[in-house]
Chain A
């Protein structure tokens, strides 16, 4: 299995809702990532988990709350989002102790209304 699976593919939520994005990989990767991509912009790093511990938080607002329940799963809990948080949210995984690239999921298209 060489894939990163993200669910749901599309999500529409109100500003008072609570929702979660899910990500799963079975490649034995011990680093997992959340990126955010706005239209016509490059992906921007939000969080890095290394060996199931949060290792990098790129000053992301607390309305985004990541969770790594085990080495295969990564969640992003969403609460009280703003319309400007609408974007494509990408999960990725990689080897934790080697440089190089990631394997990305296909993303969740989030719209906040």
Chain B
């Protein structure tokens, strides 16, 4: 049961344009949503998060939007830069009795072209 889904395995964008990465989830108990950037053979690097009680969070070139009724979130990167090329994972967390459990989506490979 894939609770967090990223339906686009890849995305190609021109430098300077906006990149929009999408994510859908099914579990209404998730309390935080996060985006991580990952290069091969490295650990995920945290980019930005949003609490489930918010609908928008912005940090520099990165903005995350949350639509709870649609169980959908998106990451906007503007302007896109070649250094943004990486795999982007959407993740969702839920605080359980056993700890803070993070579930990842399947990832979207972003390529920013010159």
Q: Which residues of A contact B (CB under 8 A)?
A: 4, 6, 31, 33, 40-45, 48-50, 55-56, 88, 90, 92, 94-107, 109
Query: Is A107 a contact partner of B42 (Cβ separation < 8 A)?
Result: yes
A24 to chain B, nearest CB (A): 14
Residues of B within 8 A of A106 (CB): 42-43
**Complex formed: what's the CA distance from A72 to B31 in Å?**
26
List, sorted by A's number, 19 A–B pairs whose CB atoms are closer than 8 Å: A6-B43, A33-B102, A41-B106, A42-B89, A42-B104, A42-B107, A43-B44, A44-B104, A48-B99, A48-B101, A50-B98, A55-B99, A56-B98, A92-B102, A98-B95, A99-B94, A101-B49, A104-B44, A105-B43
**What residue of chain B has the Cβ atom nearest to residue A43's Cβ?**
B104
**What residue of chain A has the Cβ atom nearest to residue B109's Cβ?**
A40
Contacts A31-B99, A31-B100 known; A100 to B106 CB distance under 8 Å?
no
**Complex formed: what's the CA distance from A92 to B93 in Å?**
14
Contacts A106-B42, A107-B42 known; A98 to B106 CB distance under 8 Å?
no
- Residues of chain B at interface, number, CB under 8 A: 29
**Complex formed: what's the CA distance from A33 to B93 in Å?**
13
Query: Is A102 a contact partner of B41 (Cβ separation < 8 A)?
Result: no
Query: Is B98 a contact partner of A55 (Cβ separation < 8 A)?
Result: yes
Of the candidates A4, A42, A103, A109, the one having the most CB atoms from chain B within 10 angstroms of its own CB is A42
Residues of B within 8 A of A100 (CB): 32, 34, 49, 93, 100
**What residue of chain B has the Cβ atom nearest to residue A102's Cβ?**
B102
Residues of A within 8 A of B104 (CB): 42-44
Query: Is B34 a contact partner of A101 (Cβ separation < 8 A)?
Result: yes
Query: Is B100 a contact partner of A99 (Cβ separation < 8 A)?
Result: yes
